[in-house]
Amino acid sequence: MEATVSNTGTEGKVWGGGNKPLNASYGKMMMWFFILSDALTFSGFLAAYGFSRFKFIDSWPIADEVYNHFPGSHGDNPMYFVALMTFILIASSVTMVLAVDAGHHMNKKKVTFYMFLTIIGGGIFLGSQAWEWTNFIKGSYGALETKGGQILQFVDTRMAEGDEKMHRVSVEDFAHASHKERVQHESKDGLWFVSEPALPKYSVQDVVTGFNAKSHLAVRTQELMPNIERLKASGDPADAAKAASYESKYVNADQTGQKGVLTRAESEKALKDAVVYVKGANLIHNEYGNRLFADFFFFITGFHGFHVFSGVVINIIIFFNVILGTYDRRKNNYEMVEKVGLYWHFVDLVWVFVFTFFYLV
Amino acid sequence: MAHDHGHTEHKLAIFRGTLKFKSNVQKIWGVLIFLSIVTIVEVGLGIVKPAFLIENYFIGMKYLNWIFIILTLVKAYYIAWDFMHLRDEKSSLRRAVVWTGIFLICYLMFILLQEGTYIEGVKTNGYIKWNF
């Protein structure tokens, strides 16, 4: 490398511009610039998520109840799938680092092999994320949304021996779609400038009728139950009144941290506010709880997934460059592998945080 | 030397020198094992959710959440230091990258979480009705 640069006589002189204070090439330096700025972008998103979550701290959806699918068995398998995804991404980070190491030793065959494994790992991760999104969008139980945007879910109050909480009931199991001639109005029929969103499968009345016919059902709200004992023991009359109101409204007021299940009478009252049946999730409605919850999920995991996708594309380009011997001919050899490696590890780094804040905390 | 650019030597010890590896490749596998153990511990805690970690709070957050966040930062450290080989870079580069990020992120987090808590307070104890 030295041979191409004319000697300026300042080598090693601190104030002559001759030494390299950071000892990194231009390309690597710029990659670190990019990574730092991208890290701040992601922190901005995650901080916004934290903001909304602290704002709705007493009613945020419980992650374990939302992401509980595993291939081959739907429902009640919290964490396993996302743990597997995390492991896949860390493993692909390892193969990337091995490719960089092989590059330092100018071992083209090994670089090719490890780059290939990294691309496969990235592909599997993207596939897993698509599966996760599919389940999230499709939903499993369905719920009613009230005028104020609250989600009302349904549970079976009959608990079996050893159950910690009441089981969710799918709206499809008790509601019957009433016959209707009403079809979705699309802009191609008649008034071409007017259209409406897809009609829900059930009307609110269908769900309420089904609910009234089955006395063992109850409505589960978004509210997380506070520590009732602590409220009672605080001595403040306002806290005592709060505790009493929780106990009169909810049947499971003693289950701290669980979603509140309304008494039958309160359930019927709550259903009066319902305006629409919701199944699954989109950017406007979701059956899991706060509307913002689904928005943040789509936005943050989507933005991360987009990073993984571009990482895979860049990896593929560099994989072919490795095969073609481009880096054997370059003056800085396999530094390009190292640079894309930095990006790839960064994507892994972001996922570690997304994993914590969406699934664990 | 095969690599006449950037760093020349790998630092092969982790955990402040208590664990030394013979080669860079060996260190990579060692770090993978460590990161996997941390992830397994996180998932285990997430499934079991020990009661005393959930019921007790420290600065407005459950013990369990503190543990998760600290373990996440531990993982982030090893990803950055060993996979992104910040350990082998000059300390000036390392500090320029890490401290800039940490300061800005701490500031952002503080402001937003503080404001979120405030709005939650207004919503629960104030005069505004949200569930209409």
Domains, in order of start, for chain A: 24-139+294-360 (1.20.120.80), 143-279 (no CATH)
User: Are B83 and B100 contained in the same domain?
Assistant: no
Work out the percent of chain A whose per-residue pLDDT is above 90: 65
Mean pLDDT over A229-241 rounds to 87
- Given CA atoms A126, A339, B17, B63 in this order, what sign does their dihedral have? negative
Helices (H) and strands (E) in chain B, counts: 4, 4
Domain assignment of residue B61, given as a range? 1-89
The answer, as to whether pTM is greater than 0.90, is: no
Q: Are A264 and A215 in contact (CB under 8 A)?
A: yes
Work out the percent of chain A whose per-residue pLDDT is above 70: 93
User: Are B111 and B97 contained in the same domain?
Assistant: yes
Higher-confidence residue of A199 and A52: namely A52
Q: How far is CA A273 from CA A128, A152, A269, B57, in A?
A: 38, 10, 8, 35
Q: What is the largest CA-CA distance in chain B?
A: 72
* CB-based burial label for A244 (10 Å; 0-12, 13-18, 19+): middle
The pLDDT value recorded for residue B121 is 87
Q: Do A146 and B108 count as a contact with CB atoms less than 8 A apart?
A: no
Tell me the pLDDT tens digit for each residue of A264-299: 999 999 999 999 999 999 999 999 999 999 999 999
User: Are B41 and B7 contained in the same domain?
Assistant: yes
The pLDDT value recorded for residue B2 is 42
> Which residue has tokens 């996979």?
B83
Using a CB–CB cutoff of 8 Å, tell me whether A237 touches chain B.
no
User: Are B58 and B79 contained in the same domain?
Assistant: yes
User: Are B120 and B63 contained in the same domain?
Assistant: no
Question: Does residue A178 carry a pLDDT above 50?
Answer: yes
A186 CA to chain B: closest CA distance, Å? Answer: 32
Strand partners, A218: A155
User: Are B85 and B20 contained in the same domain?
Assistant: yes
Q: How many domains does one find in chain B?
A: 2
Question: Does residue A7 carry a pLDDT above 80?
Answer: no
Question: Does residue B4 carry a pLDDT above 50?
Answer: no
Residues 6 or more apart whose Cβ sits within 8 Å of residue A92: A117, A118, A120, A121, A122, A125, A344, A348
User: Are B58 and B116 contained in the same domain?
Assistant: no
Using a CB–CB cutoff of 8 Å, tell me whether A163 touches chain B.
no
Q: Do B109 and A50 count as a contact with CB atoms less than 8 A apart?
A: yes
Q: Which of residues 285-324 of A touch B (CB under 8 A)?
A: none
Helices (H) and strands (E) in chain A, counts: 13, 5
Round to whole Å and give the CA distance between B116 and A357: 16
Mean of all residue pLDDT scores within chain A: 89
Question: Does residue A155 carry a pLDDT above 90?
Answer: yes
For residue B103, the surrounding DSSP H or E stretch is helix B91-125
Nearest-Cα residue of chain A relative to residue B132: A148
Q: How remote is the C-alpha of B3 from its chain's centroid?
A: 31
Question: Which one of A54, A84, A225, A344 makes the best mutation probe of the B interface by having the most chain B beta carbons within 10 Å?
Answer: A54
Tell me the pLDDT tens digit for each residue of B49-74: 888 898 888 887 899 999 999 999 99
The pLDDT value recorded for residue A5 is 57
User: Are B12 and B74 contained in the same domain?
Assistant: yes
Using a CB–CB cutoff of 8 Å, tell me whether A332 touches chain B.
yes
Tell me the pLDDT tens digit for each residue of A239-271: 888 899 999 999 999 888 899 999 999 999 999
Q: Are A176 and A210 in contact (CB under 8 A)?
A: yes
Residues from chain A that touch B68, judged by Cβ atoms under 8 A, are 356, 360-361
Residues 6 or more apart whose Cβ sits within 8 Å of residue B128: B122
The pLDDT value recorded for residue A4 is 59
Q: Do B112 and A332 count as a contact with CB atoms less than 8 A apart?
A: no
Mean pLDDT over A104-120 rounds to 95
Question: Does residue B1 carry a pLDDT above 50?
Answer: no
Q: Do B2 and A105 count as a contact with CB atoms less than 8 A apart?
A: yes
Question: Does residue B7 carry a pLDDT above 50?
Answer: no
Q: Do B39 and A35 count as a contact with CB atoms less than 8 A apart?
A: no
User: Are B58 and B9 contained in the same domain?
Assistant: yes
End-to-end CA distance of chain A: 49
Using a CB–CB cutoff of 8 Å, tell me whether A83 touches chain B.
yes
User: Are B85 and B109 contained in the same domain?
Assistant: no
User: Are B5 and B37 contained in the same domain?
Assistant: yes
User: Are B73 and B120 contained in the same domain?
Assistant: no
Higher-confidence residue of A54 and A199: namely A54
Q: Which of residues 115-144 of A touch B (CB under 8 A)?
A: none
Among residues A356, A57, A169, A103, the alpha carbon closest in space to that of B6 is found at A103
Mean pLDDT over B109-130 rounds to 83
The pLDDT value recorded for residue A1 is 47
How would residue A6 be classed by pLDDT, with cut points 50, 70 and 90?
Answer: low
